[in-house]
Amino acid sequence: MRVLVTGGAGFIGANFVLRTLEIRPDASITVLDKFTYAANPSTLTPVADRVHVVRGDIADAAVVDPLVAAADVVVNFAAESHNDNSLADPSSFVQTNLVGTYTLLESVRRHGVRLHHVSTDEVYGDLDLDDPARFTEETAYNPSSPYSSTKAGSDLLVRAWVRSFGVVATISNCSNNYGPYQHVEKFIPRQITNVLTGIRPKLYGDGRNVRDWIHVDDHNDAVWTIIERGQPGETYLIGADGEVDNRTVVESILESLGRPRNAFDFVTDRPGHDRRYAIDSTRLRTELGWSPRFTDFASGLAATIDWYRSHSDWWAPVKDGVEASYAQTQNILDREGS
Ligand code: NAD
Ligand code: TDX
């Protein structure tokens, strides 16, 4: 199978490439990636001789078209993915998440190629902490941020191209991923690398917001399950029953690294901060037979902490810049709040 992986140099896409080489050695992989700040070229260096890497933009039809024409399936991981960045400047989110997805859709339509579109549970908005409900495939879209609204828009484009033009596509909406090769702007790697570099972890607001954590390999195995067994035109939710509040995550990281559990700071909250996400993945489990392998978040987190501890060469070059940018954002939020 010839697989075009867009966004294959980012966190989840690169893990998808590495795992595919392991479990489907016959697959022929091409990566199309713009190599924004979020990509780390060194992630794919060890497999450079087994993957064809193209530097380019999913919103550039001239680049996209020949690559799509030469593929059996396109798996779209390419996106602007960080909520905090989308609050500072939404423009690249509109461009990549909406115009980029549109460009891919027009190309798979022209060439009759199958698409799997990777999306997020954030399209459903948030839940109260005490709400017994979880998101299902039937939950109404209600996104909160520029990031999640552009992801929601991209999903709706895919659905419309399926219905109006007969494009063969599936969509998955997954919960929060953790694991190796995640950019240090994101919550878990930020706090691990903060502790490793002598900075106190930073918790937004009251720290009680809940995320539903899933290991990135479980997400990517689910994506393969949907590519192979999913019904064209359908949406599948991916989650591993991993609800944990942010404060508990930070306390676990501190404890694992031998620091007092209270050695963190509360900082000004993210504007519009979603309270809780929770996925009901019954459909994926019962209809397609997928189940997660990493069912113990504590041990998955411990392995992730070990990975960051032993791979400072991967993250250290960008750590100071990320923290400088967060400090600037916090100053602005503090000024606006006072
Ligand atoms: P990431 O930011 O780590 O990686 C995104 C990749 O896309 C980067 O390599 C970047 O260079 C590339 N890219 C950005 N704009 C591009 C463009 N215009 N053309 C080509 N490449 C471009 O993101 P991630 O965390 O790996 O997320 C991948 C996908 O999974 C996204 O669609 C995201 O919405 C979705 N998702 C992420 C999570 C999560 O917890 N991280 C959860 C659910 C869904
Ligand atoms: O320093 C921090 N302190 C903090 O308390 C950071 C960076 C985050 N947080 C909180 C905000 C969230 O409640 O931690 C939680 C997780 O934050 P992020 O890592 O920014 O993730 P989130 O906003 O939940 O979105 C993630 O999951 C869904 C991904 O970034 C998205 O791409 C994906 O769609």
Position 232 scores a pLDDT of 97
Q: What is the pLDDT of residues 179-224, one digit of tens each?
A: 999 999 999 999 999 999 999 999 999 999 999 999 999 999 999 9
Position 90 scores a pLDDT of 98
User: Candidates 3.40.50.720, 2.60.40.1930, 3.40.1280.10, 3.50.50.60; correct CATH number of 2-184+213-241+282-293?
Assistant: 3.40.50.720
How confident is the prediction for the chain on average, in pLDDT? 98
Model confidence at 106: pLDDT above 80: yes
Model confidence at 228: pLDDT above 90: yes
Among 42-51, 195-204, 250-259, 329-338, the range scoring the smallest mean pLDDT is 329-338
Model confidence at 137: pLDDT above 90: yes
For ligand 2, atom 20: residue with the closest CA? 186
Please say if 147 is a catalytic residue: yes
In angstroms, the CA 7 to CA 55 distance is 10
Cβ atoms 74, 104 nearer than 8 A: yes
Among 147-161, 221-235, 323-337, the range scoring the smallest mean pLDDT is 323-337
Q: What is the mean pLDDT of residues 330-335?
A: 91
- Which residue, 302, 322, 336, is CA-closest to 199? 322
User: Left, alpha or beta for 308 (phi > 0: left; psi -120 to 50: alpha)?
Assistant: alpha
Query: Model confidence at 275, in pLDDT bands (50, 70, 90)?
Result: very high
Going from the C-alpha of 180 to that of each of 21, 216, 289, the distances in angstroms are 16, 8, 26
Model confidence at 338: pLDDT above 90: no
Which ligand is nearest to the Cα of residue 84, counting in written order? 2
User: Left, alpha or beta for 25 (phi > 0: left; psi -120 to 50: alpha)?
Assistant: alpha
With pLDDT > 70 as the criterion, what percentage of the chain qualifies? 100
Model confidence at 229: pLDDT above 80: yes
Which ligand is nearest to the Cα of residue 238, counting in written order? 1
Torsion, Cα 256 262 263 267, to 10 degrees, reads: 120
In angstroms, the CA 301 to CA 318 distance is 22
Please compute, for residue 219, the number of CA atoms within 13 A of its CA located in the half-sphere on the CB side: 29
Q: What is the mean pLDDT of residues 232-244?
A: 98
- Tokens 């039937």 identify what position? 138
Q: What is the mean pLDDT of residues 79-108?
A: 98
CB atoms within 10 A of CB 48: 10
With a 6 Å cutoff on the Cβ, whether 279 touches ligand 1 is: no
Position 337 scores a pLDDT of 82
With a 6 Å cutoff on the Cβ, whether 219 touches ligand 1 is: no
Active-site position among 147, 236, 277, 308 = 147
For ligand 2, atom 14: residue with the closest CA? 187
